[in-house]
Amino acid sequence: MATQSPKPPINKGLEGLVVADTQLSEVDGEHGRLIYHGYEIADLAQNATFEDVAYLLWMGQLPTASELQDLNKRMAANRLLPDGVLDILKSLPTSTVPMDVLRTGASALGAVKKIDGKATLEDAIALTAAFPTIVAAFQRMREGKAPIAPRADLSHAANYLYMLTGSAPSEQKTRALDTYLVLTADHGLNASTFTARVIASTEADMCSSVVGAIGALKGPLHGGAPQLVLDMLKAIGTAENAETWIRNALNRHEKLMGFGHRVYKTEDPRARVLRKLADQLTEVEFFKLASTVEDTALRLLHELKPERRIYTNVEFWSAAVMHAVGLPDDLFTPTFGCSRVAGWTAHVLEQQSDNRLIRPASEYVGPWNLKVAPIGQRT
């Protein structure tokens, strides 16, 4: 009698499975390293702009001065939203969740600009350039104000802040936001990037892949965490209240936002950079609160869960930095999207270059041999 072949083990959440090779980024969770195409993230954060990093992800090398100038021109030329996209944004209720606005605006942009067929670098530039305009335009609309047209003479980060407020931002705020965008442009095969690559593997267009990625980024276990970090800090209120609040939360088995990571088993290298920025940017009392919460949370987590390797992740200090540059709480995740779209589009181009349809298997655990009863006999 033939024996059944043993079934392969199930890796819930695909944990530990390698499903693609990539030249774009490496997340070294054991040693707390993040590398974009060979460059350490701390080096890029200190010495490169978001535009540099977008070019690096798309083209595989940092741009020369003339290449960067050309990219800046192409980005600036794609910032202005077509009238049809603005009309759709204007039709949305002002109570619409900003991530839903970004998803809707990106989809509309793909339809109006006819982003279809094989993905191209031009598609990547068009979507990346327009994302801040979508977010800023809706923010102005829900404030009862007219959207502000983008400026071609400003950097990606500076133009975003300008379109939100109507005033050119300070160098300090621009640099802080630009650094944040550099730090979060790509991060291996995270949920949203994997979603983009799955869609790209079907030979769908670039915009479809990116819209799907936005949907994945919206979730609180992925891109939605920074806003929840700020909610937590506001609930704690003062540095003196940190230990009591955190102990009570852990005793209720609640998750502390901004701590722990699926890959990093030590401190997230992006958190180190953002902590320094927060120290420079935030008010003294806010930084005291955030740093006390971080220290207390880490101490209690290691005390109560010694078997777990839980450290600060990027979302904790992202919340502090985005708060300091003046972004409304519910724009934190869309701003994450304005950065990560560079990585998404780079992964779509990479997937397309050596494509195979992504189609994992599942193990059926439901019943067998059921029979359909007539409608009158079903209970």
With 50 as the cut, is the pLDDT of residue 373 above it? yes
Signed CA dihedral, 238, 241, 245, 246: sign only: positive
With 80 as the cut, is the pLDDT of residue 12 above it? no
Whether this model's pTM surpasses 0.75: yes
What's the token pair of residue 199? 């869609």
Task: Map residue 144 onto helix, strand or coil.
Answer: coil
pLDDT on residue 307 = 77
Type of residue numbered 104: T
Question: For residue 361, what pLDDT band results from cuts at 50, 70 and 90?
Answer: confident
d(CA 24, CA 28): 13
Which residues, other chains included, contact 358 with Cβ-Cβ below 8 Å and sequence gap of 6+? 19, 197, 198, 201
With 70 as the cut, is the pLDDT of residue 8 above it? no
With 90 as the cut, is the pLDDT of residue 155 above it? yes
pLDDT on residue 2 = 46
pLDDT on residue 310 = 86
Taking residues 278-295, what's their average pLDDT? 93
Q: Are 100 and 334 in contact (CB under 8 A)?
A: no
Crossing angle for the helix pair 121-142 and 83-91, nearest 10 degrees?
40
Q: Which CATH number is 38-218+332-353 given?
A: 1.10.580.10
Positions marked catalytic: 261, 315
Q: Are 316 and 165 in contact (CB under 8 A)?
A: no
pLDDT on residue 302 = 87
Closest CA to 108 of 135, 132, 81: 81
Task: Map residue 39 onto helix, strand or coil.
Answer: strand
Residue 171 to residues 136, 163, 178, 325, Cα–Cα distance (Å): 19, 16, 10, 11
pLDDT on residue 13 = 63
- Residue, of 84 and 311, whose pLDDT is higher: 84
Give 8's DSSP letter. Answer: P
Task: Map residue 27 onto helix, strand or coil.
Answer: strand
Reply yes or no on domain 225-324 having CATH 1.10.230.10: yes
Express each pLDDT in 203-216 by its tens digit: 999 999 999 999 99
Closest CA to 134 of 51, 18, 193, 214: 214
Give the residues across from 25 on adjacent strands. 36
Segment (H or E) for 35: strand 33-36
Taking residues 97-124, what's their average pLDDT? 97
Q: Are 195 and 215 in contact (CB under 8 A)?
A: yes
Query: Would you list the domain boundaries of the chain?
Result: 38-218+332-353, 225-324
Q: Are 218 and 99 in contact (CB under 8 A)?
A: yes
Crossing angle for the helix pair 269-281 and 284-304, nearest 10 degrees?
150
Taking residues 187-193, what's their average pLDDT? 94
pLDDT on residue 106 = 98
What is the CB neighbour count within 10 angstroms for residue 323?
23
d(CA 301, CA 308): 8
d(CA 41, CA 29): 14
